[in-house]
Amino acid sequence: MKTQTLNVGLVGYGMAAKTFHAPLIHAATGLELLSIVSSDAAKVKADWPDVEVVDNLNDLLADRMIDLVVIATPNEHHFPMAKAALTAGKHVVIDKPMTVSLSEARNLRAQADRLDLMLSVFHNRRWDSDFLTVCRLIEEQRLGRLVSFTSRFDRFRPHVPDRWREKSKPGGGIWYDLGPHLLDQARVLFGMPRAILLELSTSRDAAEVDDEFVCMLEYEGLRVSLEASTLVAEPSPRFVLHGTKGSYSIYGLDPQEDWLKEGQVPSDDWGIDPQPGVATINEGSDEEPHLVVHEVPSEPGNYPAYYAAVREALLLKGGQPPVTGEEGVEIMTLLEAGLDSYRQGRWVRLKEGNGNMRRLHGTRR
């Protein structure tokens, strides 16, 4: 890069772009939101009066001032738009999931590598407050050797809204909406699993696509369950962990999404979640357990860290983005293997997975 400021073009101005990408890009030091592709210029100008609005991707790609293109469109458009941006010599960030198929994801990764361009996927839930707290607990082995890990992302939305995610089209449904978040978090903690088992349900009246899933991942000595539903009214724990020394649970969702929707701007005290988790730890012996309940303060969430790391990766020759293209491909591998499992009604083994725990999980003692 010739300058210390990177000019960004944002493609799309739906919920993801309006809530996450535009404000986080604007808040990032060294990034300038220069242009947005949208058919609704008035909507964009109401939020960003000084940002140029263009009505098609080609005009954005023809702008030599644009260094980085961020794609926040419906999932089925991710591949063709990212491919066009890379062909135009632009670095690319894609909102999750990377694409709607594994073959498309591999194609993009190969193209980015060939052209020596950055390709990253916006897996922002790596910077959730509760997930960062879970990372800390596992790294410190506070719970001993982990034997069970459950991650739930529940909502109560009985009405089916008229939006593209609820339509029977490529990339629609809850598996492609929330599945990438939970799969990416599990992959960060434990690496690629040896096998996957997926159950999908379409439960709401008038629903066209899956709105509930239960996914199991196979690792050596560890049971991982990932679950999401649109019909859970009773508060459910976001994470539940059980280990040889104790257990941990936390309720509720990271507040950063709600804060961004309210128009709050990331600041020095950003991401602090006042809701603690609870750890029940054995402070006695294995023969005579003595369980003590502790409140566990949550780590601050940090969505701004994503674009700060993108900037550093582009300004440092050879620097790695916060989420690599290869990691995006791995999540697409899991999404497709999950669908294969659902269709076949059985566990599907993964050639890429070895079931070995990553450093965060620790080792058997």
Residue ranges in the chain modelled with pLDDT below 50: 1-2, 356-365
What tokens does 267 get?
A: 């600041």
pLDDT at 230: 96
Return the domain boundaries, the chain: 6-122, 128-301+333-361
Note if the pTM is more than 0.85: yes
Q: Give me the CATH code for the 6-122 domain, please.
A: 3.40.50.720
pLDDT digits (tens, 9 = 90+) for 269-325: 788 877 899 999 999 999 999 999 999 999 999 999 999 999 999 987 667 899 999
pLDDT at 316: 78
pLDDT at 213: 98
Q: Give me the CATH code for the 128-301+333-361 domain, please.
A: 3.30.360.10
Same fold, 6-122 and 128-301+333-361: no
Dist. CA 357–CA 179, nearest whole Å: 21
Dist. CA 88–CA 167, nearest whole Å: 31
